[in-house]
Structure 1
Amino acid sequence: MSGSWYPENAYMTLLGDALRETGVDVRTPPLSLFFPLTRAVLANPDADAMQLDWIYDYYVTTGTGFGPANALISVLRAAAFLVDVALVSLLGVRIVRTVHNERHHEGLYPRTERLVNECVFAVADAVTVKCGAAADAIAATYRVPTADGMAVVPDGNFVVAYENDVSREAARRDLGIDDDAFVLLFFGLIREYKGVPDLVEAFADLDAPDAELWLVGNPHDDRTEAQVSALARSDPRIETRLEFVPDERIQYFMNAADALALPYRRILNSGTAHLGLSYGRPVIAPAIGCLPETVPPENDLLYDPADDDGLAEALRRAYDHPDLESIGRANHRHARSQSWEQAAETLTSLYREPSGGRQRLGRLRRASDS
C-alpha cells in the first residue's frame, strides 16, 4: 500500500488491519525519491498488487517559494511519476487506484492533475471509490473510467480507533462549557474548501444567546489562521482551538458538542463525517459528494449548497430540533454497520483478479479517442 501512510492515519491503519485479517500480506515499503513505485515492486518481487491512495505527494511541489518554479518542478515530477506507474504495470503487479478526491483541494496545477489522473486511471487494473455519487463525479470529470467501471468500496467506521469514555458532562467541564449551552463544532484541518467563513457567517444569523460555535483544528497555513482568528473575534459566542488535536483529546470536543457542522464548499469524501457518526454526533453538512450516502436518513440536517440560506437554516433546524440525541443514536448505529472487513473483502477480490493488460489497453484507446 502506497500513499500517506503513517501510524496516526486511522484510515490506513484500520484498513490495513482488516486486510491482514482476510489473509492479505500488507506491506508499506519506504518510498525512495526516484521511481519509488518501481523500486518498491522490485524490492518485493512476490507482490501481487499495489494500492495507490493519495498520489499528490508524488508530483505536487509547493516549497520553492517561487510559483513558476513550483509549477515546472511539478510537471517534471508528474512525468517521472507516470513513467514509474507505467513500469509497475509492465512488471505484472495489479494497480488498484483508490480515489479520495475529485480534484486537489487547493486547485493546484489543474492541467497537470488532469493528465496525471487520466493516465493513472487508464493504466490501473481497478479503480475504487467510496460511493456511487463519487463514481458519477469521477466519470463526469475525467475521460476514463466509466462510472460502472469503478468498484464502490465504502469506508468502515472509527468507533474503535479513538477513545470514547468521557461523558458529555465531563467533557464540558474540561472545556469550560456550561451544561445548558448549545454547542456547534467544526473539527479538522482548516482549509479553504471546508468553508469555515461560511459557517461563521451563518452562525451570526442564529439568534440564540446560549449557542456556541467551536472551531477546532490546525489551520492549513498562516493566512488561514489569521483569517479564522479575525472571524472568531467578530462574535463572542465563537471559541477557537487552532491547533493539532491529539487523538486522546478528540473525544472531549466530540462529546461536548450537540452537533458537528461541516460546511464544505466542495467535497467528495469526508473522514470527519465518518468520525462524527462514530461518536454519535448529528452532522450538519451540504448534500454533495458521498455525504448523502454517508449519513443515515434520520440525520435530516443536510442542506442544499446552492441555497444561500441553506447552511443557516440547517443550523436553525439543529438548534430547534426536539431530539438531537435520537439522531446521534441513529448515526452511531449506522457507523457500526459500516465495517472495514466489508471493505477489505471487496479489495481482496480486486487484488486477486489477474492483471488486466487487455482492459488497460481498451481504456487507453477510449481515452485517446476522446
Structure 2
Amino acid sequence: MTDDDLTLLLMSGSWYPENAYMTLLADALREAGVDVRTPPLPLFFPLTRAVLANRDADAMQLDWIYDYYVTTGTGFGPANALVSFLRAAAFLVDLALVSLLDVGVVRTVHNERHHEGLYPRTERVVNESVFAVADAVTVKCGAAADAVAAAYRVPEADEMDVVPDGSFVAAYENDVSREAARRDLGIDDDAFVVLFFGLIREYKGVPDLVEAFAALDAPDAELWLVGNPHDDRTEAQVAALARGDPRVETRLEFVPDERIQYFLNAADVLALPYRRILNSGTAHLGLSYGRPVMAPAIGCLPETVPPENELLYDPSDADGLAETLRRAYDHPDLESIGRANHRHARSQRWARAAAALTDIYRNAADGRRRRDRSTRATDSR
C-alpha cells in the first residue's frame, strides 16, 4: 500500500446495494480515491474467502454482524436457534482466520444490540469476538461510544473513532411541493399531519405513538403510519390500533424510493417514538427533507438533530411523547424548525466522513502489518 493507494472490502455492500447509507458511503470513499470492493458473501467463511479473492486488500469494514449468523426463516423457533448457533460458531472460525491474514479489520457499529433481542448470549460472544479482533471500531456519535463501552467488555469509549454520517439530501428525489404531495395522497391543505415512516418493528414504538395521538384533541390532525411491518403479528397489531381512530391512516407496505418524497413533503412533523435506538437513518431522512423530527432524546438522536429541533423528549417521562405531540401541534412556526433541519443536513458532508474513515482504514492496515511483522520476527527467534 502506497500513500495514495487504499483498497477496502466493504463487506455489506453486496447485501445492501440499494441501501442509501451504503451507496453514499461507497461513492464518497471512491471520490476520495479508495478502491472500494463489495465482494459476494457466500454462506460459509465469507470473510476469509473475500480476503483470499482480494489479496491486495488493505482493510475490510464490517457493518451488520447479525447477517452472518441470525436465522429466522425455518418456520420453527428451536430450529432457528440451532442454525443461528451453528452459523455463529462458523463465523467465529472465519473471524479467527481473517485475524491471521494481512488485512485490517474495521468494525462500524450501527446497533448496540439486535433490535428484536434474538439470541442475546450468542450475540454477546460474537460481538465481543469481533471487537477483540478489530483493529479499529467506529461509531456515529459520542453517546454511541459510551453505550457500546457500557454494554461490552471491549472496547473502551475512548478507543473508538467517532465518524458522523453525511446527509441523505442527495440520495432521494425532492421536487414535489407540499401542495402536490398532499393532493396526491388526498390530504386536506389545512390538516396537521404527523408521519411515522420506515420499517415497522417493535422497538420503534408505533403503538405508543397511536396511543399518544389518540389523546390529542385535534379533529384536523392526521396520523400517517407508513412502512412495511416486520412480520404478520406486527402488521395485525398496527392495523387493529389504526381502526380505533378514524384520523389514523396506514400504508403498511414497502415504499419505493420515488414515492418517499410524497409522504415526507406532505407531513408537518416526522414522529419517531423509538423505545430504544442507537442510530436512526430515518431521522437523517427527515432532516434531509426539512421535516421537524419528534423523537426521544436517546442514542445519537441529540447529536443528530440541531438545537433548533426542540421536539426531543425525555423517554423516562410517561407523558413525554403525548406532551411533545401537543407541543408540535401548537407550535407557531414548525417551518422554521424544518428549515434549520435542512440547513443542518446539508452541512453534514459524506466527504468529511470518507476522509476520516480513509485515515482509519489506513491506520488499521498499517497496525495489522506491524503486528504481523513483529509476530513473525518473534517466531523466528
1:181 counterpart = 2:188: no
Shift of 1:357: 7.5
Tell me, what secondary structure is at the counterpart of 1:355? helix
Segment drifting more, 175-184 vs 78-87: 78-87
The residue type paired with residue 274 of structure 1 is H
| Cα shift readout 1:50-104 (whole Å, capped 9, x = no counterpart) | 0000111110111222222211221111111111112112111000000000000
**Which residue of 2 is the match for residue 109 of structure 1?**
119
Q: Tell me, in whole angstroms, the C-alpha distance in 1 between the residues paired with 2:74 and 2:178.
A: 46
Q: Tell me, in whole angstroms, the C-alpha distance in 2 between the residues paired with 1:7 and 1:62.
A: 22
**Which residue of 1 is the match for residue 315 of structure 2?**
305
**Which residue of 2 is the match for residue 164 of structure 1?**
174
Q: TM-score, normalised by structure 1?
A: 0.96
Q: 1:333 to 1:359 in 2, by over 3 A?
A: farther
**Which residue of 2 is the match for residue 262 of structure 1?**
272
Match of 1:3 among 4, 12, 15: 12
Match of 1:195 among 205, 209, 217: 205
| Cα shift readout 1:226-267 (whole Å, capped 9, x = no counterpart) | 100000000000000000000000000000000000000000
The residue type paired with residue 318 of structure 1 is A
**Which residue of 1 is the match for residue 26 of structure 2?**
16
Is 2:103–2:368's contact at 8 Å kept on the other side of the alignment? no
Is 1:286–1:305's contact at 8 Å kept on the other side of the alignment? yes
| Cα shift readout 1:187-240 (whole Å, capped 9, x = no counterpart) | 000000000000000000111000000000000011111100000000000000
Tell me, what secondary structure is at the counterpart of 2:36? coil
Match of 2:259 among 249, 252, 258: 249
Shift of 1:6: 2.9
**Which residue of 1 is the match for residue 367 of structure 2?**
355
Match of 1:238 among 248, 259, 273: 248
Is 1:269–1:289's contact at 8 Å kept on the other side of the alignment? yes
The residue type paired with residue 355 of structure 1 is G
Q: Tell me, in whole angstroms, the C-alpha distance in 2 between the residues paired with 1:263 and 1:205.
A: 15
Match of 2:339 among 326, 329, 332: 329
Structure 1 unaligned regions, length at least 5: 361-370
The CA RMSD measured in Å over matched residues stands at 1.2
The residue type paired with residue 2 of structure 1 is M
The residue type paired with residue 163 of structure 2 is V
Tell me, what secondary structure is at the counterpart of 1:189? coil
**Which residue of 1 is the match for residue 329 of structure 2?**
319
Q: Tell me, in whole angstroms, the C-alpha distance in 1 between the residues paired with 2:262 and 2:227.
A: 13
Is 2:102–2:368's contact at 8 Å kept on the other side of the alignment? no
**Which residue of 1 is the match for residue 304 of structure 2?**
294
**Which residue of 2 is the match for residue 88 of structure 1?**
98
Is 2:209–2:273's contact at 8 Å kept on the other side of the alignment? yes
Segment drifting more, 269-278 vs 84-93: 84-93
Is 1:3–1:55's contact at 8 Å kept on the other side of the alignment? no
**Which residue of 2 is the match for residue 72 of structure 1?**
82
Structure 2 unaligned regions, length at least 5: 1-9, 373-381
Q: Tell me, in whole angstroms, the C-alpha distance in 2 between the residues paired with 1:343 and 1:334.
A: 15
Q: Tell me, in whole angstroms, the C-alpha distance in 2 between the residues paired with 1:359 and 1:295.
A: 40
Alignment map for 1:203-242 (pairs within 5 Å): 203-242=213-252
Tell me, what secondary structure is at the counterpart of 1:65? coil
Shift of 1:355: 2.9
Q: Tell me, in whole angstroms, the C-alpha distance in 1 between the residues paired with 2:334 and 2:287.
A: 13
Is 2:81–2:119's contact at 8 Å kept on the other side of the alignment? yes
| Cα shift readout 1:331-350 (whole Å, capped 9, x = no counterpart) | 00000111111111111001
Shift of 1:358: 8.2
The residue type paired with residue 150 of structure 1 is M
Q: Tell me, in whole angstroms, the C-alpha distance in 2 between the residues paired with 1:73 and 1:174.
A: 46
Tell me, what secondary structure is at the counterpart of 2:35? coil
| Cα shift readout 1:246-298 (whole Å, capped 9, x = no counterpart) | 00000000000000000000000000000000000000000000000000000
Is 1:50–1:94's contact at 8 Å kept on the other side of the alignment? yes
Segment drifting more, 351-360 vs 170-179: 351-360
Q: TM-score, normalised by structure 2?
A: 0.93
Q: Tell me, in whole angstroms, the C-alpha distance in 1 between the residues paired with 2:49 and 2:243.
A: 51
Is 2:105–2:136's contact at 8 Å kept on the other side of the alignment? yes
| Cα shift readout 1:158-191 (whole Å, capped 9, x = no counterpart) | 0010000000000000000000000000000000
Of all paired residues, the percent bearing the same amino acid is: 86
Tell me, what secondary structure is at the counterpart of 1:274? helix
**Which residue of 2 is the match for residue 366 of structure 1?**
none
Tell me, what secondary structure is at the counterpart of 1:26? strand
